[in-house]
Amino acid sequence: MNDFILDDIGALLKDAVDASEDVIKRNIELPKVKEHGDFAFPAFFLAKIMRMPPPKIAQEILSKIEDLLPFGSIESAEVAGPYLNLKISPQILSKKLLAEIFDQGQKFSSSDEGRGRNLTIDLSSPNIAKPFHVGHLRSTVVGSCLYRLFEKLGYNCIGINHLGDWGTQFGKLIVAYKKFGTEKLFEKEPIFALLDLYIRFHKEAKDDSSLEDQARGEFKKLERGDPEATEIWKTFYQYSLEEYKRIYGILNATIDEYTGESFYNDKMEDALKLLEQKRLTQISQDALIVDLEEYGLGAALLKKSDEATLYLTRDLAAILYRKETFDFAKMLYVVGSAQALHFKQLFKIVELLGFNWHESCHHVEFGWIKFGKEMMSTREGNIVFLNDVINRAKELAKEIILEKNPDIEDVDKAALYIGVGAVIYADLAVRRNHDINFSWEDALNFDGNTGPYLQYTHARLASLERKFGKEIISDIDFSLLKEPEEKQLMLTLYRFPQKLKLAAEEYEPAVICGYLYELSQNLNSFYQKHRVITDDTTLTNARMLLMRCVRIVMSEGLKILGLEPMERM
């Protein structure tokens, strides 16, 4: 997008301020008080250079530019304390902005920032042979949102699911399958059948300790490539993958690579040899470590005394493989905050190996998600299975929809979109490093900062276009869009590309959520004071163009988050 407002501000102030246009534009912000203007230039950073109090500097800048106004899109300027506040011409704003949004459509706010650059995202990563639970929800929806966001910014994104598909638990499952499995075991819900086998193994092992030895034996067979053990493991893997892909389809998650822990089995030794060549490893208490004490990161454990490798060993093999295979410009690990030390150790080891790309690796951490006491009962302990959450969300959404709009077509499909959207949005709307206390009542509310509220806003715009029933045109009288509420809507639309960029810089979907909520509130403020379809055809055409532009941005924002832009609700 051509950022015409910032360009105009930079050009206007460049001769009045002892700073470059780029520095001027970087310092532009929103006024503390909305009534003071549309944009503000703070004079604080100039105080040391000019040796004057900021309010006096702001006044001096105004005196130098007063004769130049109006200038481009800038209508007027005034001083409020240490700030130079600028007001934008609604006519120029509408003429430049709305035409661009209308012409570009869904491509509005796209950029070529990432053109020719690969971005890999490690996300979701559940343990196979177990049902997908809410513990993996945040990684999946945050990672998927970032995938779509960076794709919008021109990057070639690769979503990698680092499945937990290796370890002694599979020896336990193989033993349980051989002892308790039947031909009909996987007929109905294979993933829960595997969970039941796992639970039964532990119950039986309490009375028969030999089962643990058998499990270790079966896993050793698996590690050696035993045909029978491998075939059974592949069955577990395949059933798990089918279930996970179903879940990802519902959550709008894009996974390009399913390379779990087992994939790196034959790659770990090369990674360890590389460390040894750089003399980074040492033996401590019979274990192989990299000593990171001088960096405040403790001892990074690579192999236990029994030669068993650990997560860090596999993640080191994985990051080296990913760099070689994808040559990523960025590598994001969307993993919980509890693993912060693990990734600090991993990135430090990459740096010590002499690779200068360690700074392009980022741990996108997040807090816990908790469900209140009203949550449905679960099948085991305090685990909440995502399938139960999805079904519950759909049921509750269906009740609300039928109450509000009993004549809606395909109510089940609408309920799924709204219910799942409510769950996704409740997750993304909270800053990712904060914990979430999930509430069904809050998440499915059609008022306030929720997924259904934003989807309803989009559906209302779609309904308005159906009511209008004519072609929306961009050849309008832009001077008619002069009401304060219209200008506020346009200023909010103008900030969409900036908000996407900020969300990408911070790896923070909540920035987009907050923006869409603000846009919806501004739209409702407009609805309360003005009619869109009026007896004045010229005015109606102008306002319908504005509404179409709001709809385009709302739709794009919802799709980046992973929510369906609803046509009817």
Does residue 296 sit within a domain? Answer: no
Helix and strand element counts for the chain (H, E): 21, 12
Q: What would the DSSP string read from start to end of 154-180?
A: T-EEEEE---B--SHHHHHHHHHHHHH
Using left for φ > 0, alpha for ψ between -120 and 50, and beta otherwise, residue 507 falls in left
Asked if pLDDT for residue 307 goes beyond 80, the answer is no
318-345 confidence digits (pLDDT tens): 999 999 999 999 999 999 999 999 999 9
Asked if pLDDT for residue 378 goes beyond 70, the answer is no
Same domain, 402 and 539: yes
Which pLDDT belongs to residue 404?
87
- How far apart, in whole angstroms, are the C-alpha atoms of residue 214 and residue 210? 6
Asked if pLDDT for residue 377 goes beyond 50, the answer is no
Asked if pLDDT for residue 63 goes beyond 80, the answer is yes
Q: What is the mean pLDDT of residues 181-203?
A: 89
Instruction: Decide if 458 is catalytic.
Output: no
- How far apart, in whole angstroms, are the C-alpha atoms of residue 525 and residue 521? 6
Other CB atoms within 10 A of residue 106 CB: 12
Same domain, 404 and 547: yes
Asked if pLDDT for residue 291 goes beyond 70, the answer is yes
Same domain, 424 and 512: yes
| Furthest-apart CA atoms within the chain: distance in Å | 91
Q: 221, 250, 279 — which closes off a domain?
A: 250
> Coil, strand or helix: which one is 313?
helix
* Residues 509 and 503 sit within 8 Å (Cβ to Cβ): yes
**What percentage of the chain has pLDDT greater than the value 70?**
98
Paired residues of 333 in beta bridges: 122, 363
194-207 confidence digits (pLDDT tens): 999 999 999 999 99
Q: 69, 88, 107 — which closes off a domain?
A: 88
Same domain, 187 and 43: no
Does residue 437 sit within a domain? Answer: yes
- Catalytic residue, from 133, 323, 358, 458: name it: 133
Q: What is the mean pLDDT of residues 260-285?
A: 94
Domain carrying residue 416: 396-561
Does residue 97 sit within a domain? Answer: no
Q: 230, 250, 270 — which closes off a domain?
A: 250
- How far apart, in whole angstroms, are the C-alpha atoms of residue 333 and residue 315? 11
CATH of the domain at 454: 1.10.730.10
Q: What is the mean pLDDT of residues 197-226?
A: 92
Q: What is the mean pLDDT of residues 483-498?
A: 97
Same domain, 424 and 553: yes
Q: What would the DSSP string read from start to end of 509-534?
A: HHHHHHHHHHHHHHHHHHHHH--SS-
Does residue 280 sit within a domain? Answer: no
441-465 confidence digits (pLDDT tens): 888 888 889 999 999 999 999 999 9
Total tally of structural domains belonging to the chain: 3
Does residue 366 sit within a domain? Answer: no
- How far apart, in whole angstroms, are the C-alpha atoms of residue 33 and residue 46? 22
538 DSSP assignment: H
Q: Give Cβ neighbours of residue 510 (< 8 Å, ≥ 6 apart).
A: 428, 429, 430, 431, 432
* Residues 548 and 397 sit within 8 Å (Cβ to Cβ): no
Which of these ranges, 16-20, 254-258, 269-273, 278-282, has the smallest mean pLDDT?
16-20
Q: How, if at all, do strands 156-160 and 118-122 pair?
A: parallel
Dihedral, 388, 394, 399, 403 alpha carbons, nearest 10:
160
Same domain, 528 and 400: yes
Asked if pLDDT for residue 375 goes beyond 90, the answer is no
Note the pTM of the prediction, 2 decimals. Answer: 0.93
Q: Which residues in 335-466 belong to E strands, given as ranges?
A: 361-364, 369-371, 436-438
Instruction: Decide if 136 is catalytic.
Output: yes
Same domain, 68 and 181: no
Which pLDDT belongs to residue 2?
64
Q: What is the mean pLDDT of residues 286-308?
A: 91
Which pLDDT belongs to residue 373?
53
- Catalytic residue, from 36, 87, 96, 136: name it: 136
Does residue 360 sit within a domain? Answer: no
Does residue 495 sit within a domain? Answer: yes
510-553 confidence digits (pLDDT tens): 999 999 999 999 999 999 999 999 999 999 999 999 999 999 99
Between 72 and 373, whose confidence is greater?
72
Kindly indicate the confidence band of residue 310, based on its pLDDT and cuts at 50, 70 and 90. confident
Instruction: Decide if 162 is catalytic.
Output: no
- How far apart, in whole angstroms, are the C-alpha atoms of residue 365 and residue 342? 12
Does residue 449 sit within a domain? Answer: yes
